Amino acid sequence: MLFDQRGCGKSTPFAALEENSTRDLVRHIEALRRHLGIERWLVFGGSWGSTLALAYAESHPERVSDLVLRGIFLLRKEEIDWFYQKGADALYPDAWEAYLAPIPIDERGDLVRAYYKRLTSSDPGIRSNAARAWSVWEGSTSNLFPNPALVAKTSEDEFSLAFARIECHYFVHGAWLQGRELLANVSAIRHLPAVIVQGRYDVVCPMMSAWALHRAWPEADFRVVQDAGHSAFEPGILHELVLATDRFR
Q: Which residues are catalytic?
A: 47, 202, 230
Q: Give the whole-angstrom CA distance, residue 236 versus residue 180.
A: 29
Q: Give the whole-angstrom CA distance, residue 116 versus residue 170.
A: 10
Are the CB atoms for 29 and 6 separated by under 8 Å? no
Cross-sheet strand order for the sheet of 194-199:
41-47, 64-72, 194-199, 221-225
Phi-psi region of 176 (alpha: psi -120 to 50; beta: other; left: phi over 0): left
Phi, psi of 110 (to 5 degrees): -145, 85
Are the CB atoms for 237 and 70 separated by under 8 Å? yes
DSSP 8-state symbol, 203: S
Q: Give the whole-angstrom CA distance, residue 29 versus residue 66.
A: 16
Q: Give the whole-angstrom CA distance, residue 42 versus residue 68.
A: 8
